[in-house]
Chains A and B, each alone.
Chain A
Amino acid sequence: MASFTGKVFVLGDDIDTDIIIPTEYLALKSIEDMRPYGFYPLRPELPSLIKSGDIIVAGSNFGCGSSREQAPEVIKALGVKCVVAKSFARIFYRNSINNGLLLIENSDIQDRIKEGDELTVEPGKELVLNGEAFRIGSLPDNLMDILNEGGLVNAMKKRNGVK
């Protein structure tokens, strides 16, 4: 995955899956229908502000709560390129990779960043904020392959030669 730069939206700790996409909108027919309700209980304006390629920076335990796979799907549909957080809830983490959403664990930038800043991400290597670089861990190639394909179903389709 090539490096990219995006505008940052800042969120706090314990952003749960009910905030990301409330239960009442889960029965809508498609992710596109759910997209306008992303983060509705906390920041209802976010879907209209986030542009393709933007980045969410959050605190600890991002994605806690239910196992709904719609949570990473909605974040991705909003155009968010990656989420940087101090930590992620386990099932959300897995669902994100499997739905092609890049997650980065980092605890160094939260105190230095503010909404609207530009953050450069070099996957597997570093985050660059206002000229200062912060090291990040890398994912194995096979996981990056899943992300680059846009999720597990697509990655498996490619693996199996399905159009």
Chain B
Amino acid sequence: MMGATLIEKIIRRNVHDDNVKAGDIVFVKPDRVMIHDIFIPFVADKFHEMGFKKVWDPDKVVIIYDHMVPSSQVDDTRHFRSGDAFAKEQGIEHIHRADGVCHQLMPELRYATPGDVVFGTDSHTVTYGGVGAFSTGIGYTEMAGILGTGELWIKVPETIRVNVNGKLPQGVTSKDVILTIIGDLTAAGATYKSMEFSGDTFDAMSVSERLTMANMTIEAGAKCGLFYADEKTAEFSGVPCDEAHGCFKDEGDGDYVQVLNYKAEDFVPVAACPSQVDKIRPISELKDIKIDQVFIGSCTNGRLEDLRAAAEILKGKHVAPYVKLIITPASRSIYIKAVQEGLMKIFNDAGAIIMNPGCGLCCGRSGGILTDGETVVATNNRNFLGRMGTNKVNIYLASPVTAAHSAVKGYVTNG
């Protein structure tokens, strides 16, 4: 008898029906929902227009200000006032006004834990697949509906299984792995589907490295990107490591629509080149590309391990003349740990610009906007036209290792 994919296991647990399979349409009850500052006014308006009075469960709602923190345009603070008023009206206590990027805070603060079903008003909500949660982005109308009813219909996705085994070469990170996979699948290759990661390469990865990969599965069009929760995940999320708590065993017997197999030893440092996320090239082939700026941060690669990797390269060195190095920790706790570990001193001595925790430059609203002909190496997830300034800015997406080396040398390089 055919087993189940990880997404089927998670949804079966949520709906208490062991017969659910890919293709079925079911109503799930979210364990948590997240609304960020950009959409909170629209969600609140639709909620009231629909005639709802009370949110179904205020404890399950998290409001996070991150895209617009601190405000950079005249009307930005209207969003904070709207969110504050809605939180007060509804008794929502999980509200973070300047604590970091939503997709870092959700797993870090254990709002999203293994086996959970989580929806957010942002496409990168897929990040929590890194802790074995099913999480994906929705529109503001649907979020308003969930707030009133406590449920959402979903179609159970088919699964693309990605097997990677072996040891990654020195200097190759989980960012290089996911960029390579997106390049192979293409930007629409996983549309609607769940990506499920398996193999001893992923077993050896930290939770942070897995979050980096899950974060980017949307760039292949995926509905979610899932890792099996193991002992490391359970410790990170503060739950016992058993199926009752959403830590499912990887039995590898699901019905997969596609299987990709990789040897870890074959991966090399890569970048997504302007201006498509699936335009992947080895760093070794990118010669003589002078850069104006480097951005290390975001919900993809703004975690403590990313800052450590960058600091190791930047220690005792200085960024190249004319290059601006912008460092944006993904959360307040990462920021303070980076201070305690001495990473911030290294960055400061290297001439970096250290920003507040938040989305920063990644969403292109503030903190390093560029103009025609300028080039940036960035550790975030999207290099779409116009993402960080004009549509003639060249954005190379790469790992923190490549970003730090490039900042020191002044051109795209990994050492």
Contact = CB atoms under 8 A, between A and B. Distances in A.
A94 B145 contact: no
The residue in A61, A90, A98, A160 that gathers the most chain B C-beta atoms within 10 A of its C-beta is: A90
B191 A156 contact: no
A91 B145 contact: no
A160 B145 CA distance: 11
Interface string A129-163: 00000000001101100000000110011011110
A156 B191 CA distance: 29
A90 B26 CA distance: 15
Contacts of B149: 156, 159
Given A152-B141, A153-B46, A90 B25 contact: no
Given A95-B139, A142-B27, A157 B51 contact: yes
A139 B154 CA distance: 11
Interface string B201-235: 00000000000000000000101000000000000
Contact of A153 (B138, B141, B192): B141
Contact of A91 (B50, B52, B139, B155): B139
Chain B interface main SS type = mixed
A153 B142 contact: no
Interface string B151-168: 001010000000000000
Given A61-B188, A64-B191, A98-B139, A153 B25 contact: no
Contact of B25 (A95, A98, A143): A143
B58 interface: no
B51 A140 contact: no
Contacts of A142: 27, 153
A94 B25 contact: no
Contact of B139 (A69, A87, A139, A161): A69
B191 A89 contact: yes
B191 A61 contact: yes
Contacts of A160: 50-52, 148
A67 interface: yes
Nearest to A69: B139
Contacts of A95: 139
> Which interface class (under 10, 10 to 19, 20 to 34, 35 or more) fits A?
20 to 34
Scoring B25, B148, B155 by chain A CB atoms within 10 A of each residue's CB, the highest score goes to: B25
Contacts of B251: none
Nearest to A151: B141
B129 to A, nearest CB: 15
Interface string A11-42: 00000000000000000000000000000000
B49 interface: yes
A140, A156, A157, A159 — which one has the most chain B CB atoms within 10 A of its CB?
A156
A152 B25 contact: no
A140 B26 CA distance: 8
B25 to A, nearest CB: 6
Interface in A90-119: 90-91, 93-95, 97-98
Contacts of A161: 51
Interface string A35-66: 00000000000000000000000000100100
B142 A152 contact: yes
A98 B138 CA distance: 11
A152 B145 contact: yes
Contact of B50 (A64, A89, A139, A157): A157
B49 A153 contact: yes
B142 A139 contact: no
Interface in B361-393: none
Given A90-B223, A139-B25, 7 more contacts: A61-B191, A69-B141, A94-B139, A95-B139, A152-B50, A152-B142, A153-B49
7 contacts: A87-B192, A90-B192, A90-B221, A90-B223, A93-B155, A140-B25, A156-B148
8 closest cross-chain pairs (CB), A and B: A160-B51, A162-B51, A156-B50, A90-B192, A157-B51, A152-B145, A98-B141, A152-B141
